[in-house]
Structure 1
Amino acid sequence: FSQVEGVDYDETFAPVARYTSIRVVISIAVEMGWKIHQMDVKTAFLNGLIEEEVYIEKPLGFEVHGRESHVCRLKKALYGLKEAPRAWYSRIDAYLQQLGFEKVSDP
């Protein structure tokens, strides 16, 4: 599939921490004797909710009798979708704020 900027999508930016910021946090944790944990969200980009209307052709094998000419509307992001990183960031950001985390900018 193809997407055209300004037509099919607008915002794609998803912030990331700077390498130096990560090193500082690790250094502080070591100095303070804190335990460090990391995590990975498998298929993270597939869990982002998209706000734009995105339509796709039905995948092969997906057939609904009487609706052969219909298309599908995406509710969640797919790999390769330009706005997938932004959609995932928005979802995890909202969740972390509900847990009491505060958003700050990387210096």
Structure 2
Amino acid sequence: MPIESDYCIDRKEVARVLGISIPTVHRILRHGANGRPPLPHFRVGVAIRIKVSDLEGWIESEPTPTKPVRGRPRGSTKAAMARRRAVQAEMDMSPTP
């Protein structure tokens, strides 16, 4: 039986289709994932519903390039960053054959 394009599913069904957890579905609804925009949805009372056509379009959408993260990686110290910069500078200065 084909699914109608205006057919709506809930968060649990989205989680099952995508193979992810419900909290991850909440994050995708708010912020998007992997460079994709947030998943279109609407509320019916307190329930969240997602159109199947919107979910299919979201899955097929191309990720948008994201801005590179500025600053040092989380958990790294200033000393580690200084060593990394020194190694990078040595690599940049070494003669290439």
Between structures 1 and 2, the one with greater helix share: 2
Larger radius of gyration: 2
Q: What's the TM-score, normalizing by structure 1?
A: 0.18
The structure richer in strand per residue is: 2
Question: Which one has more relative contact order, counting CA pairs under 8 Å at least 6 apart?
Answer: 1
